[in-house]
Amino acid sequence: MVRVLASIEIEVPSEHILSRLEAELMPFGKAFFLEAAPDWTGSLDLKNAEAMNIVES
């Protein structure tokens, strides 16, 4: 489920990253985990290529 959420590419405005005084658009999955999601029980496997591709997008 985490990977599904992280892979959603619909652009949404960031609440924390401003670009020229306006919210910068970023993929929903990235915004969700960086800005909206509470701490989750799990771990990010930094050796997993698929997980890292999602994080880097």
Domains of the chain by residue range: 2-56
Residue of 39, 14, 41 whose CA lies nearest to 26? 14
Q: What's the confidence (pLDDT) of residue 39?
A: 57
First CA to last CA across the chain, in angstroms? 17
The pTM is what? 0.49
Q: What is the per-residue pLDDT for 16? A: 72
Q: Measuring CA to CA, which residue among 6, 35, 32 is closest to residue 18?
A: 35
Query: How high is the pLDDT of residue 15?
Result: 74
Residue 33 confidence (pLDDT): 78
Give pLDDT, residue 41.
57
Under 8 Å between Cβ of 52 and 46? yes
* Each residue's pLDDT tens digit, 4-57: 888 889 998 887 776 677 788 888 888 887 776 555 556 677 788 887 787 777
